[in-house]
A and B are shown apart, each in its own frame.
Chain A
Amino acid sequence: MRKVVTALVVVGILALPAAAQGTHPRPKSAEKVFAGLVPAYQPCTAPDRTHGPPLAFPSCSAPDQDSSYLTVGTPDANGNAVQSVGSFYWEAFAGVPGPPTDNKIGWKIDITDVRCLAAGPGCAAPGADYAGSVEVRFSSQITDHNNNVNPGGGSDPATVQPFDFSFPVTCTMTSNPAIGSTCSRRINYIEEFGFAIPDGRRTLWEFGPAQLWDGGTDADGSSTGDNTKFAVQGVFVP
């Protein structure tokens, strides 16, 4: 799996738009994804309980957060009020056909009440506001007409090898001790890479579940090797 991070060097070669050629079916439109975010837990590998019916699956007692560094306020877990709300939003806007290329893809991520599990970089104390960054990550696969035998792009239809698309998100401490940090970012493809997805490429972007990874031992979401999964797309019923 390959990873795209914001540090990716932008190669600003804009191929002239070419009409898409046959071979891959596509929808009329597919424009939006909105996902709530919930804390991620370690998989259950040695079950010692059974879940209540009707979802009576084997389960593991003592849920174990995936993240080794971050948490959210929960009275009976860490004494803080329940305040966290998180979401991920992805929107695609088709531009006007023909140059200039003006298709837009944008992402919006917000999560509140982000707190530290333990003292360390970005973390003054357990339960303190987190002063580092996190990483949005989702697995991706693109099928389009922007491929060539040689580097630089072209008009050949193809499916890329799966890759992880990701970008860091800065977290900001709050002045209110009753709520932890807010991690928030709005970003669009053009700002990120310097140009738009060209017209007529019939770009199908399949993607996996939205995930939010912590900043790891260095509290830096952009240095991804040490990050652990903090939140994923999901729902919560109180």
Chain B
Amino acid sequence: MAAQASHVRPKSSNGKLSTSLVPSFNPCAAPDRTHGPPLAFPSCSTPDQASSYLTLGTPDVNGSAAQSVGSFYWKTWPGLPGPPWDNVSVFDVSISDVRCRAAGPGCGAPGADYAGSVELRVASQISDHNNSVNPGGGADPGTTQSFDFGFTVTCTTTSDPSIGSMCSQHINYLENVIGGSIQDGKRTVWELGQFQVWDGGADADGSTAGDNTRFAVQGVFVP
């Protein structure tokens, strides 16, 4: 169905979104230091990783070499107008040298390769013309309530003891995520929050999200 009036939209969003990933730390609540200028904000000594379960190789932290590189990539291609729905969205996430903080499910020992899964998560809000009073969709313009969009990413141990596991997933929205394509003509504006990778929690399973803790987020690193 053709989109109807009422929400402004861009010509394109450049068709992609890509970000490097850095380990995430707990917020500073009781500062006991001050950062150097010009970003002279209060700070908390002893940085505390947000993940309770996973870490990365770092010589002066755990004796392993710094080897981790992480990234997330989202690419969209508009399809041909009209059915069949052939808009394509592809997601690629990868993060290398993923190691265990302690022994437990998916973790043979502290520093060992992680043998579980993680979760990619991003806060989302969609404004489009795919809404209706009744379930099933329609042509009404609307803005969804905020929701977390995500998927599970499997981590694979490596045979090289000098580098930890590789967590990697290539996802096609149409085929793998939720079994349906974004329809043509719906003018889908998808607002995105911070890209986050959450660990697998106590059960080392990224798909059981209740116990997962934040492992990495979008960001940059200057050595």
Interface residue ranges, A against B (CB under 8 Å): 2, 4, 8, 10-13, 15, 20-44, 47-65, 71-74, 76-78, 82-87, 90-92, 94, 103, 105, 113, 141-144, 146-154, 156-163, 193-194, 197-209, 232-238
Contact = CB atoms under 8 A, between A and B. Distances in A.
Contacts of B185: 238
Interface residues of B, number: 107
The 4 closest A-B pairs by CB, nearest first: A52-B137, A153-B36, A36-B13, A30-B20
A34 B16 contact: yes
Interface stretch (B62-70, B113-121, B151-159, B204-212): B62-70
Contacts of A85: 10-14
Contact of B87 (A42, A161, A237): A237
A21 B5 contact: no
Contacts of B34: 147-153
- B60, B76, B217 — most chain A CB neighbours (10 Å): B60
Contacts of B35: 142, 144, 146-147, 153, 158, 160
Contacts of A52: 130-132, 136-138, 183
B23 A25 contact: yes
Contacts of A141: 25, 27-28
Interface in B196-223: 217-223
Interface of B: 3-28, 31-49, 55-58, 60-62, 66-70, 74, 76, 78, 87, 89, 97, 125-128, 130-138, 140-147, 178-180, 182-194, 217-223
A63 B6 contact: yes
Contacts of A4: 38-39
Given A20-B60, A26-B56, A203 B221 contact: yes
Contacts of B140: 49, 61
Given A36-B15, A85-B14, A152-B36, A44 B131 contact: no
30 contacts: A10-B37, A13-B37, A23-B60, A24-B47, A26-B223, A28-B69, A29-B20, A32-B18, A35-B17, A36-B16, A50-B132, A50-B134, A51-B130, A57-B145, A76-B5, A78-B8, A141-B25, A142-B35, A147-B34, A147-B43, A156-B45, A160-B41, A163-B39, A203-B223, A207-B217, A234-B17, A235-B17, A236-B10, A236-B187, A238-B184
